[in-house]
Amino acid sequence: MSVIPAVVNRFFHQTASPPYFYALAERLAPWLTGVFLLLLAAGLYGGLYLAPSDYQQGESYRIIYIHVPAAWMSLFVYVLMAVMAGIALVWRMKLAEVMLIASAPIGAGFTFIALVTGSLWGKPMWGAWWVWDARLTFELILLFQYLGIVSLYGAIEDRRAAARAVSILALVGVVNVPVIHYSVEWWSTLHQGPTITKLDKPSIHVSMLIPLLLMAVAFKFYYLIAVLQNARLELLKREATSQWVKNLLEKTA
């Protein structure tokens, strides 16, 4: 007797089948893209045009609308990857391996954007492009973790063996996530403390907060679009000799 209801169980089993997943991802893509573009337009319009300038930083603070969502995503994607790694190791689920691998370059991209925009923000505000404080250093390590995962997967020829190695690496690296999140509270850093994710009410004016949240959701949708696209490609590569891929090719040819 399982604790998971049969309907949910069936849904997962069905979604985890490669041909079903491939078709589902294809069908979802235009909808996701539509929602992403709407959210992005609303977020950018709100953030760059409607939101007032900051009392201290003037207009320069507006880079927050890229920097903060990207930094959040860099952590969010890693946590998702760790969960996928756990599922891949315990249940040996192929789709979890595929999603893990498909997420890594996207996570690396978000981390890179967070670091670059942070640097562009740091120069006018702090007076330095880069400082070796705890927040920045651990975020840079996170970028190397993502790149390490991508390279390790590429270095092992057998994809299932590679996925297992990558899963362990991803799980080991997850310790960095809470360290990055709490770095500004545990140590004295040049980077300021958290604005939104604290138990107190957020210390950002509501007219600035709404576009920020819109951008955060937009980035999540971008991740979904990118990860599904990547996962489809990875599935095709893995299952190149299987019957459903052959059928697919015949249909399109």
- Our CB check for other proteins shows the closer of 51 and 143 to be 51
Biggest CA–CA distance in the chain, Å, is 62
Residues 70-109 vs other proteins: string with x where CB under 8 A? ----------------x--xxx------------------
Contacts for 153-159: CB closer than 8 Å, 24+ residues apart:
153/101, 153/104, 159/97, 159/237, 159/238
- Least Cβ distance, residue 244 to other proteins (angstroms): 27
For other proteins, which residue of 1, 5, 49, 55 counts as binding (CB under 8 A)?
55
210 scored as a contact of other proteins (CB under 8 A): no
Q: Which residues of 235-253 are buried (b: 16+ CB within 10 A; e: fewer)?
A: beebbeeeeebeebeeeee
For other proteins, which residue of 141, 171, 210, 236 counts as binding (CB under 8 A)?
171
- Our CB check for other proteins shows the closer of 174 and 217 to be 174
For other proteins, which residue of 35, 141, 179, 210 counts as binding (CB under 8 A)?
179
- Which amino acid, one-letter code, is at 12? F
Residue 214 in contact with residue 49, Cβ under 8 Å? no
d(CA 65, CA 58): 14
What are the φ/ψ torsions at residue 93 (nearest 5 degrees)?
-85, 125
188 scored as a contact of other proteins (CB under 8 A): yes
Name the site residues for other proteins (rule: CB under 8 A): 52-57, 61, 64, 86, 89-91, 124-128, 131-134, 171-172, 174-175, 179, 183, 186-190, 192-195, 203-205, 207-208
